[in-house]
Structure 1
Amino acid sequence: MMRMDFLTLFPEMFPGVLQSSILNKAAEKESVQFNVHNIRDFSVNKHGKVDDYPYGGGAGMVLTPQPVFDAVEHVKGAANVVYAPRVILLCPQGKPYKQADAEKLASEKHLIFICGHYEGYDERIREHLVTDEYSIGDFVLTGGELGAMVMADSITRLLPGVLGNDESAEKDSFSQGLLEHPHYTRPADFRGYQVPDVLLSGHHENIEKWRKEQAVKRTRERRPDLID
């Protein structure tokens, strides 16, 4: 079973996502265990303070290293395992997160997500604690929580037995370097909009050929960078 731990200042953001849909079903199947921790609980400051002004001046507040280090060390100890977890920092400066990263991380046993707020993190968190830094896009969010939940969803659905059909994940967009082909279901005629004849033919070889052609066509039109 995979374990995912989320270190955050806003734990109330997580239940709605982790306790719904595929993620909830995965937890019920014991394919994954989710744990959410409040970084403030690890602060040695009597007021639970976790941020401070940046050395050298500047706008905003910086997340201090002490509560983050202590939180990660606590989680590692609680896991009580011999393997080293991946400690993931969500930040705009991180590596762009791709489907290939989700596939790689899905083979891990333990992931720890650090979700920051404020102006940024004390650099010593990056240098001495984190194994991976990821960004989910070229835009700035108010914190790392949404990025962590996006990553958790994309990873969990790849775990064995989580989806009803493991082939569903294998044929997703990006998994084979292309966007996914179009899908149709009943009725075959909806307000005059017809399902392509090939999908109704029952000829599996022709259907697969059509799907591949459509995937290439859609990728060229919408994401030519994936082909070029």
Structure 2
Amino acid sequence: MERSTMSKLILVLFIGLVMLGFMIKMFFYDGKNKDDTGFEGENEYSYTEPIEEERTDSETETDKDQQVPVGNTEIDYDAEYGAKFGEDKVQAAEKLAEKVMQAWLENNTDMEMWKEISTAPFLIVVQNEVMAPKDQLTRKVQSLDVSPTKASGDQEIQFMVYATWDVLSVGKKVREQSNMYKISLTLSESGEWFVKELSRV
């Protein structure tokens, strides 16, 4: 082998070894001190009390004006509906909500009753849901807690109903159940409430 070829081969081999060494170093060495745990627990810190600036009377008064009121800031839908429809109408709507909820849960199949209190779209829902029970169990409502909430329409009133009932099989209690429902009533031109929607929350 010629001398020039031999020297070129040695040079290429040397460069290859150097590059291989750099690659191995980069692969296994991540640049961090292996003894460094990443915690700075050995550093000492000192705590100093924050300095309170003296405030003028005018600044104190401004702060009082900007304070958010403390307490219940939720909308009183009872009062809102009472002012809008009158107390008698609100009480009639609440009684209807209780009646509908009980009839719904107990699978009341009296279609004449449902026709008197339902809008046409809701009557279709009743025919599909109430008239065709999916099991042989019966239900007996124990309690209904009705509270007003925001309605979606101008001539509507909406309630949240927390219902508790017993599930019965051949007259014997199998278990107790409870759930939250939303019921929407709409005011007709004749001034009567009709059920528009009922859904489980």
After TM superposition, the score normalised by the length of structure 2 is 0.18
**Per residue, is there more strand in 1 or in 2?**
2
With a CA cutoff of 8 Å and minimum separation of 6, indicate the structure with the bigger relative contact order: 1
Q: Which has the larger radius of gyration?
A: 2
TM-score by length of 1: 0.17
